[in-house]
Amino acid sequence: MWKPFNKMQNEVVGFTGYSVEETSSAINRYGNQNYMEPISVAMIQEGEGTGATIKAMAVFTPGFREDDVETDEV
């Protein structure tokens, strides 16, 4: 029997950090805590030297979880 699938709700989140590594870590931490995976990330650097900041925008999609898969096995 055909069953409609759940809609995947993507979300966009903004991040700010003082280095690419710090910003990347925040993006990965957010994804892990919310069971989502980043599918697209854009980063820019504002300023120069020690006063520089990294601003990022990441698009997340729900991560694949095996317990969400329904099978027709008997």
35-68: per-residue pLDDT in tens?
A: 999 999 999 999 998 899 999 999 999 976 666 5
Q: Does the structure show a pLDDT above 70 at 24?
A: yes
Q: How many residues does the chain have?
A: 74
Token output for 60: 């997340």
Beta strand 53-62 pairing with 11-17: antiparallel
Region class of 58: left (phi > 0), else alpha (psi between -120 and 50), else beta = beta
What is the reported pLDDT for 32? Answer: 94
Does some domain include residue 57? no
Mean pLDDT of 22-27: 97
Which of residues 2 and 57 earns the better pLDDT score?
Answer: 57
Q: Are the C-beta atoms of 14 and 54 separated by less than 8 Å?
A: no
Does some domain include residue 65? no
Does some domain include residue 24? yes
The number of distinct structural domains making up the chain is: 1
Mean pLDDT of 9-18: 94
For the chain, give the mean pLDDT: 86
* Residue 12 belongs to domain spanning: 7-40
Does some domain include residue 28? yes
